[in-house]
Amino acid sequence: GRWIKQRFPVTPIIMGGPNIRHDQDGIKSFLEEHEYVDVYISFEGEIPFTGLLTQILKRFPNGKCNPVDIRAFDIDSCFSLENGSLRGKHATENSNNLDYIPSPYTTGLLDAFLIPEFIPLFESNRGCPHTCSYCTWGSSVRSHVKKFSRERLKADMEYVAKTGKLFSKWTFADANFGILPRDVEIARDIREIYEKYHPFHNLTIWWDKNA
C-alpha cells in the first residue's frame, strides 16, 4: 500500500478485516502507523464497502476521486484519519441471516475464476462463541454465529460442481464447521454433490472446537 501511494498518490487505499484492535485507540494507532491507508473497514465488509463505493461513484462520476475527500465520508464501519482525528464508528449489528449477500457464484461473477488452478471457497456461517486468546473470531463483537441458508450454500456448491472442473480442493471458510445441528445435513449435501459430480480431490474444513 505504501509503495502504491508513493507512486500514485490519488489512488484510494481501503483495507479491512478483523486483524487489528477494534477499540478507538487501536484503530487510530493503526492508521497513524499506516498513513497510506485512507479507509479501514471493521469486521464484516459487504455493507460498508458497498456504501463506500456507492458514495465514490456518486460524488466522482468522472472516476477521478480524491482520497482526502474519501476520508471525510460518514459511513458506519469505515474509519479514517482526518487532520489527525479519528473518524468513524462501528455499525450496529445486521441480520443473523446472511442470505442478503448476493452469491458470487450463482450470479456468475466468479465464472472466470472457476478453473482447476484455483480453489473454490464456501462459507456456511460466521462468528464464534469461543474466546480463544490466539484468534480474533471470538472477540466479543463477533461472538454469535450468523449463517447462510442451507439452500443457498447447496446452490453455490452445485453451481461450481456443474462446471465439470476437477479442483484440487474445496475450502470452507467457517471458523467452526459442525457447531450447528444442521451442519450434519450440509455434510450430507457435500457428500451427495461429490458422489454425483466428483468436483474435488479433498476438502479443507475448520471444525468446531468442542463438537
Question: For residue range 28-76, what is the model confidence (pLDDT) as tens digits?
Answer: 999 999 999 999 998 888 889 999 999 998 988 887 888 888 898 999 9
- pTM value? 0.79
Which one has a higher pLDDT value, 22 or 210?
Answer: 22
CA-CA distance, 84 to 138, in Å (whole number)?
31
Question: For residue range 166-193, what is the model confidence (pLDDT) as tens digits?
Answer: 999 999 999 889 999 999 999 999 999 9
At residue 95, the pLDDT reads 75
Q: Which three cell numbers stand for residue 189?
A: 449435501
CA dihedral sign of residues 1, 91, 180, 114: negative
CA-CA distance, 6 to 94, in Å (whole number)?
37
Question: For residue range 130-179, what is the model confidence (pLDDT) as tens digits?
Answer: 877 777 666 655 667 889 999 999 999 999 999 999 999 999 999 889 99
Torsion of CA 93, 96, 100, 106, to 10 degrees: 140
Secondary structure of residue 113 in the 3-state scheme:
helix
Bridge partner residues of 170 (DSSP): 203
CA-CA distance, 137 to 171, in Å (whole number)?
18
At residue 8, the pLDDT reads 92
